[in-house]
Chain A
């Protein structure tokens, strides 16, 4: 039988990248995101015995991460900053970052959180409508509506940006 330590290390290796990426999108600051990921995995270690279904491990970690992030806000309620001051699009740039990627980052940032969150859960983490509904404590229909609106808005923003860019260049 797999020891707790070995199980934990398997968990870290398998999911740290997705958990980190989600944290950066949720928190919008790489340094804070890394701290929260660290707290998430430490808490996961402490309650590893409660993880019965290994197929649900990623969703379990994301649940812990969201709780840890909420705790961060409870601790630092008064320490408010302007989100725009915290992160710039370039900070999240991929190694092969290009104009389209930057435009998409910009478009994602313009989405309201209620649309952005389910969209990132689906596109980044591969969660199903049911899994997102469980994470966000919504019903599945609401989630599907939000996903539909998120992508509609994203398409609209991208089209507008292209037109604006085209006019500016033309």
Chain B
């Protein structure tokens, strides 16, 4: 291969695997040196072209799609947020479980499992790493959901099966007093429950999902609920 043809070839495709080009370089140190320089230039070029991408660009794109292309299903909560129950006991987890079982026997298996999950599993779901908004949105996408802003520390976000229902359990807030958020398919009916002074539970209802929020009465709980209502949306389609 003559010099000009070789140069044309490697300048058009610096990482060519063409056997003729490889052979020409192997046989001629001058060609080899030229090719090496072009490859170095190409690596620098690739690096220079990799300009920074805004961190939240993917989330913005998803948000725009949900809000602009499906305005009728872009659902803020369809019913007002409402208090569900306020438990009495020192052990809030058990208090909720007992209360639910007493007043809503039909839902007791599901609620038992929610409580059992919080009591036995939730602590192990927290790895100590804060979950990024992108990771959370990747998981919410399975329910057709998207969050467009960060609020509080996301301590965990894991899929779990509760009484046969596939849900996403997200823990937000303080490590020693997290608020649990369960993203549930729409066909899971969660009903109002009893009241107490220490425990708060709220439901956000969307067209394609129900969101169950559980936590002790605290500023953090109110903040999480408020922020979710503002920044969480669901499209019509979910893959579950």
Query: Residues of A with Cβ closer than 8 Å to B?
Result: 2-6, 8-9, 12-13, 16-17, 20-21, 24-25, 34, 37-38, 41-42, 45-46, 92-95, 100-101, 104-105, 108, 119-120, 122-124, 129, 144-145, 147-148, 151-152, 154-155, 158
Contacts and interface: CB of A to CB of B under 8 A. Distances in A.
Contacts of A16: 53, 57-58, 61
B47 A12 contact: no
B69 interface: yes
A21 B44 CA distance: 16
Interface of B: 7-8, 11-14, 37-38, 41-42, 44-54, 57-58, 60-62, 64-65, 68-69, 134, 138, 141-142, 144, 235-239
Given A12-B65, A13-B58, A38-B60, 14 more contacts: A12-B62, A20-B57, A21-B49, A21-B51, A37-B61, A42-B64, A42-B68, A95-B52, A101-B47, A104-B48, A108-B45, A108-B49, A148-B12, A155-B41
Given A5-B141, A12-B61, A148 B45 contact: no
A108 B235 contact: no
A147 B13 contact: yes
B62 A9 contact: yes
A45 B11 contact: no
B46 A123 contact: yes
Contacts of A6: 141-142, 237, 239
Contacts of A101: 44, 47-48
Given A6-B142, A12-B61, A38-B64, A104 B52 contact: no
A163 B12 CA distance: 25
17 contacts: A13-B134, A16-B61, A21-B51, A34-B54, A38-B61, A41-B61, A42-B68, A42-B69, A45-B69, A94-B52, A101-B48, A108-B49, A120-B49, A124-B50, A144-B8, A145-B12, A151-B42
Contact of B14 (A25, A46, A94, A151): A151
Contacts of A104: 44-45, 48
Contact of B239 (A2, A12, A20, A92): A2
A70 to B, nearest CB: 21
Q: Binding site of A, secondary structure by majority: helix, strand, loop or mixed?
A: helix
Nearest to A96: B47
Contact of A92 (B11, B12, B51, B144): B51
A60 to B, nearest CB: 16
Contacts of A129: 12-13
Nearest to A18: B53
A34 B52 CA distance: 12
B57 A42 contact: no
Q: Which 9 A-B pairs have the closest CB atoms?
A: A5-B237, A104-B48, A147-B12, A144-B12, A151-B11, A148-B11, A6-B239, A9-B141, A148-B12
A34 to B, nearest CB: 7
A52 B47 CA distance: 32
Contacts of A95: 52
Contacts of A144: 8, 12-13
Nearest to A152: B11
A123 B42 contact: yes
B106 to A, nearest CB: 31
Most buried by A among B37, B52, B54, B64: B52
Contacts of A93: 51
A6 B239 CA distance: 7
Given A2-B239, A45-B65, A105 B53 contact: no
B198 to A, nearest CB: 39
